[in-house]
Structures are given as structure tokens and as C-alpha cells.
Structure 1
């Protein structure tokens, strides 16, 4: 699990094609000390497993489903990516609950720069529109952000200078896509409402185990 607070920015140093999968080599010397083989690291919001540590970073495999749903299938050598190691017990939940399971991608429609913040307007895919609400949380390229406005077919986030400087959002251009993960709590609520909330029977009943355990 993650919280959407980016800790490092890495660089794609190599991409190996593996049929319908790829292997990403990510350079980020500062994260080497934090990552071990088998650890989870969110790369632009996608939960990936450290398949191998290198002197400069780590290697991760991306299967077809990941490439179909996220923007990782379109990255190039030299691209910068947001990184966040998985939370540890006792860490602060500084953003919101992020699984690293990307739902879809969204295109940046418009970028408005002001002296103190930038407003980014993204296309709102119909498949996740019902989960995006004003003042709610959304994860874009691994970053926990607050939705400032929602319109017909679009939503906006407002980014302060710290976010622009410490993530890749500062260099995002109109027409480019970001990975989107909506708040999973909204999905659970929807599921419960659709299928009803049947009470769970927690009572202890005596059962005949045929003498076992006596």
C-alpha cells in the first residue's frame, strides 16, 4: 500500500521488450538503500516489484495487463518517473490510501499557470467519472491530489510549487497522459450499495467435529 506522497524521481535508463511484456530499468541512486529484492515500489502510480537491484536503481517487470491499463507502455528511455516505496507499519498516511492499481489514464487538456500555483485540467474518462468528486482525493501518476473542480467530461487539480518541484507534474505538457487511480473507498461503498449489506453472523455455535480435538 502507498499514500501518494512522492519520495523520489527516477529516470528510465533502459527498456527491454519481452514479447507482450517489458522490463524497465529505473535509475535512482537514492532509492537503492531503501529497496530490496521483492519490495514494492510505485512507479508513476503503478505498483511494481523490484526484480533486481542495480548499482543505480532497480529493475521491474511489467506484464500485458499493466501495459494495457497504464501509461508505462509508452515510456521512453530518459523519461522521468515518480517513485514511492511501499508504506511500512508506523509510517504516516500523508496522502490517502493508494493501492498502486491504476484504473485508467487521463489526458491533460489545459494547463493554467499562476504566480503561486498551477491548475491542471484533465479529461475525465466515463469509466471512473462517478468516483471523482470535488474536494475528494485522486491519485495521478502516483501523487495524491485533491480534486478542485469537476465539470462535464473533465476535472481539475491545483498544484502548489512544492508539488510541481518534487514530482514530474511540473513538466507535464498538454496532450500527455497520466495514470489515474480513484479512491478505492468509493468503489467499496458502491459495491456494498449494489449488492446489499448482509450482516455477518459472528456468533459461536457448537458444532459436531466427530470427536476431533477432544
Structure 2
């Protein structure tokens, strides 16, 4: 589990792809804190460390990860947001982030408001129902608050600190970003859907039973 607070911006050293997936090598000081088997979020995608050598670490991304995230689009020299897994007892400074990317959105508008930078992002349509104004969302692994919500997009506001310490300050219109919606919203939807389904079934059975008795 993660919290959406980026520890460091690393640099992609290499990305090797084949039919089975990809191996990504990243240069970062964070490598000194990692070991094989550890989880690390790379631009919001939870990946497993397979090797560590000096200031470099390697992770593997399977085909499913490449389909659902921007990892497969990375090239040598690209910056990536990095966050190690949350330790038990550590401060939860952002929100609960699993590192399970729900889809890739795109920046559709960028602007300034005072010292903040506003990014309007168009997510996959099926994710819009999980978004609420002032709710949380992870964008490229960064925990952000939804400042405004439209019919097909949402807007986040970046303070200078976020722009400097993450890759978000370098994004432009058209840039793809990994998105992870609030996992609690997804669980609530599933539970409510099951409840409503069972309630409707029970109501229909009751109606049928009453109709049979009247006959």
C-alpha cells in the first residue's frame, strides 16, 4: 500500500520489452533503500523490485500492467515518480493508494491560478462515477484533491511544491497519466450493487407469490 506522496523523481535507464512483458531499470537514490522483492510505485503502478545495483533498481511489468498503464510508453531518460511501500506505523500523509492503476487519462487543459497550476484531465468514461468534488485521486502516483468535476473530466490544482517534487509540473496538454480512483468508492459500489440486486430479486419473488395466492 502507498499514500501518494512521492519520495523521489527517478530517471528511466532502460526499458526492455518482449511478448511476456517488460523489464524497467530506474536510476534513483531510493535504490539504496530497496531490496529484491520489495514493492515500489512507479508513476503510480505498484511493481516488484527484482534487482538492485548501486543507484539502480530493476522491476518487471507483466502484459496486464502494460495494457493498463503508461509504463510501456516510457523511454530512456524519462522522469518517473517513485514511492516505496508504506511502512506499518508510518504517517498516512495522502490517501490510501494501492498502486493498482484503473486507467490512463490525458491532460486536456492546463492553466495558472495564482501560484497554482490547474490541470484538467479526461479519464476513461467508466471512471467518472467514482469521482467526487473534493475527493481524492492518484494521478501518476501523486495523491491529489479533485478541485472541480465536469461531465467528462476533472481538474486538480498543483501547488509549487508538488510541481517541483513530482513529474506533474512537466506535463502538457495531451500527456497521458496513470489514474487510480478511491478504492473505498469501488468497494461501496460493489456492496450497494449486490444489495440492490438482492432487494429487487426478493421484491419480485414476493410480488409473484402474492399474485399466485390471489389466483
TM-score, structure 1 normalization? 0.89
Deviating runs (4+, > 6 A) in structure 1?
Answer: none
- Following superposition, the deviation at residue 124 of structure 1 comes to 2.9
The alignment of Structure 1 onto Structure 2 pairs a total of residues equal to: 197
| Residue matched to 1:128 | 127
Question: What's the C-alpha RMSD, in Å, of the aligned pairs?
Answer: 1.3
Task: Please state how far the C-alpha of 1:136 moved relative to its aligned partner.
Answer: 0.2
Aligned to 2:36: 37
**Which residue does the alignment assign to 1:101?**
100
The 3-state SS of whatever aligns with 1:169 is helix
3-state SS of 1:51 partner: strand
Shift of 1:139: 0.3
Which residue does the alignment assign to 2:110?
Answer: 111
Task: Give 1:194's aligned residue.
Answer: 193
CA positional deviation for 1:115: 3.8
Aligned pairs for 1:33-112 (under 5 A) are: 33-112=32-111
1:59-96: per-residue Cα shift (whole Å, max 9, x none)? 00111000000011111111000000000011000000
Match of 2:162 in 1: 163
Deviation per residue, 1:80-113 (Å, 9 max, x gap): 0000000001100000000000000100001102
1:192: how far off? 0.8
How many angstroms does 1:2 deviate by? 0.2
Whole-Å Cα distance in 2 between the matches of residues 73 and 14 of structure 1? 11
**Counterparts in 2 of 1:133-152, with a 5 A limit?**
133-152=132-151
Check if 1:24 corresponds to 2:36. Answer: no
The CA distance in 1 between the partners of 2:53 and 2:172, in whole Å, is 31
In structure 2, distance between residues paired with 1:130 and 1:15:
34
1-structure distance, mates of 2:157, 2:125: 22
List alignment gaps of at least 5 residues for structure 2: 199-215
Q: TM-score, normalised by structure 2?
A: 0.89
The 2-side partners of 1:115 and 1:128 are apart by: 29
Say which structure is richer in helix: 2
On the 8 A contact 2:103/2:123 being kept in 1, the answer is no
Per the alignment, in what secondary structure is the counterpart of residue 196 of structure 1? helix
CA distance in 2, matches of 1:127, 1:52: 36
CA distance in 2, matches of 1:147, 1:7: 22
Structure 1 runs not aligned, ≥5 long: 199-214
Q: Distance in 2 between matches of 1:95 and 1:68?
A: 26
